[in-house]
Amino acid sequence: MSNAGTAAIPQPRIPSYVHQVLRETFARWGARFGLVWIGVLLVAAVFAPFIATSHPLLLSSDGHISSPALASLTATDVTLLVLFLTGATLVLVRMSARSKLMIFVITLVLTSILSHLMISPPQLTIYEQYREQEAQGRYQWVIHAPIPYSPQDYLRDKGDTGLEPPLGNPARRHWFGTEENGADVLSRMIHASRIALGIGFVATGIGMFIGVIIGGLMGFFSGNVDIFGMRLVEIFEAIPTLFLLLTFVAFFGRSLYIMMVIIGITGWTGYARYIRAEFLRLREQDFVQAATACGLPLYSILFRHMLPNGIAPILVAASFGVASAILAEATLSFLGLGLVGEPSWGQMLNQAVQSSSFNWWMAAFPGGAIFLTVFAYNLIGEALRDSIDPYLKK
């Protein structure tokens, strides 16, 4: 919206509702802690191929400088990096929320298509080659990643490195120890944070999307739409998510995307109920009646006039929803039905249980990460709830 002509007049602005809520939410220590932890996870997830990798970041061999870490980036890595940078820029740039969202979605689609078409990392990676060549003195200089072990690097050149406690071997530094196959636990955890964050956001996003649309229609039209919608809600609430996940994994193989979709399409009922209740209340409000009387189209009434006024309880529910999606994935992986090949926190816990002796580092670190992440989301959700609830205000 243009505000030409008024720019000259200084406007003492009272902060908008969104700013007020955000400020009040993050004035709470719990929410601040939660935000910091999620931020750390986000950075770790996006920059994982540079933080924890066996590929040297930069090396000079015979006067020829190359970056194996860059060369081995996958399409997903590139997409994540571009999205993160776009997001960070958009936060700093002043623009309306709508155009920001537009730009973000366009970048998402473009980069994911382009990177899948254009980037093809080497199919076979031999992690040992860099260590061997460095030992032979082929490189003039090498810059390693802070954690110089890839999650799938089982250190076969070093002999049996399985199940070493943290900092157990002075020759190699494994901050969180190694797992039974000899890979670095910390490296695996950093890469696994992608799954934890991704499943949380995507599954909750799918659930919210379906819930807002179905709940909104139920609340706005009420009557028969509402009766039908509520029966649909009840049917979906009767589906046990975990068993459905187990069934799908058994029949269709282990895919992260199937998991996200299933958690999403069984979890929308809560959001639909909230939005329905809000819309039933808002429908009677005079400003909605006024919008109808002005002849505004239905989508504008629903999504411009009603939704922003009823979204607050959804956001609270969503932050708890993210936490429960993470737990669902961890549960599945713990049961041994998670992803193959790629590490996840739940799967690491499973490894800890299966070994004959009690290797505390295998249980404590992934378990602690799950705990902290779920806790962080719950803290944010609780702070958000308190700051939008006028009765709980100090």
Partner 1 sequence: MLLKVEHLKTYLRSAGKTVEAVDDVTFHIGEGETFCLVGESGSGKSITALSIMQLLPAGISSHPAGSIYLKQPRGAHDPAGYIDTLTLPERKLRTIRGSRIAMIFQEPMTSLNPVFTIGDQIIEALQLHNPDMGYAEARERTIHALTQVRIPNAARRVDDYPHHLSGGQRQRVMIAMAMACEPDLLIADEPTTALDVTVQKEILNLMQDLQARNHMGILFITHDFGVVCQIGHRLAVMHRGKIVESGTLMEVLKQPKHTYTKQLLASLPQNLKRRQQRQQHRVQTPPVPGEPWDSKSDDAAQALVDLRQLRVYFPVKRGLLHRTVDHIKAVDGVDVQISQGQILALVGESGCGKTTLGRAILRLIEPTAGDIFFSGTNITQIKRSAMRPYRRRMQIIFQDPMSSLNPRLSIATTLTEPMAVHGIGDSQEERLEIARQTLRQVQLEPRYLWRYPHEFSGGQRQRIGIARALVLNPRFIVCDEVTSSLDVSVQAEILQMLLQLRRSRQLTLLFITHDIGVVEYISDETAVMYRGRIVERGATAQICGNPHHEYTQTLLSAVPRIMM
The smaller minimum CB distance to partner 1, of residues 64 and 94, is found at 94
Report the residue number, 259 or 291, with the smaller CB distance to partner 1. 291
**CB closer to partner 1 out of 251 and 299:** 299
CB of 295 to partner 1, least distance (A): 3
Query: By C-beta, is 8 or 124 nearer to partner 1?
Result: 8
CA atoms of 387 and 31, how far apart (whole Å)? 11
Within 234-293, the residues that bind partner 1 by CB under 8 A are 285-287, 289-293
Say whether residue 5 binds partner 1 (CB under 8 A).
yes
Q: What element of type H or E holds 139?
A: strand 139-143
Among 2, 123, 136, 356, binds partner 1 (CB under 8 A): 2
Tell me how far, at minimum, the Cβ of 303 lies from partner 1, in Å.
12
> What are the CB-based long-range contacts (under 8 Å, 24+) for 304-307?
306/216, 306/220, 306/278, 306/279, 306/282, 307/212, 307/216
Nearer to partner 1, 1 or 238 (CB): 1
Q: Does 305 bind partner 1 (CB under 8 A)?
A: yes
Contacts with partner 1, 43-82, as mask; x by CB under 8 A: ----------------------------------------
Rounded CA separation 240/234 (Å): 12
375 torsion bin: left (phi>0), alpha (psi -120 to 50), beta (else)? alpha
CA 99 to chain centre: 22
Size of the site for partner 1 (CB under 8 A): 30
CA distance 233 to 253: 28
Segment lying near partner 1 (by CB under 8 A), choices 9-17, 44-52, 245-253, 322-330:
9-17
Concatenating the DSSP letter of every residue in 235-293 gives HHHTS-HHHHHHHHHHHH---HHHHHHHHHHHSHHHHHHHHHHHHHHHHTSHHHHHHHH
Q: Is residue 1 close enough to count as binding partner 1 by CB under 8 A?
A: yes
Q: Which amino acid is at 54?
A: S
Show the site string, 178-217: x = touches partner 1 by CB under 8 A, - = not.
----------------------------------------
At closest approach, how far in Å is the CB of 204 from partner 1?
A: 23
Q: Closer CB to partner 1, residue 69 or residue 306? A: 306
215, 272 contact by CB (below 8 A): yes
The SS3 call for residue 192 is helix
Q: How far is the CB of 228 from partner 1 (least distance, A)?
A: 13
Minimum separation from the CB atom of position 272 to partner 1 (A) = 21
Tokens matching residue 141: 């200089």
User: What are residue 139's phi and psi, to 5 degrees?
Assistant: -100, 140
* Rounded (10°) CA dihedral 337, 255, 82, 51: 30
> Shortest Cβ distance from residue 325 to partner 1 (Å)?
28
294 forms part of the interface with partner 1 (CB under 8 A): yes
Cross-sheet strand order for the sheet of 139-143: 64-66, 58-61, 139-143
Minimum CB distance to partner 1 smaller for 3 or for 356: 3
Interaction between residue 14 and partner 1 (CB under 8 A): yes
Judged by CB, which is closer to partner 1: 71, or 227?
227
222 in contact with partner 1 (CB under 8 A): no
* 129 vs 285, beta carbon nearer partner 1: 285
260 touches 195 (CB < 8 A): no
How many angstroms separate the CA atoms of 84 and 104, rounded? 10
What is the contact surface with partner 1 in residues (CB under 8 A)? 1-6, 9, 11, 13-14, 16-17, 227, 285-287, 289-297, 300, 304-305, 308-309
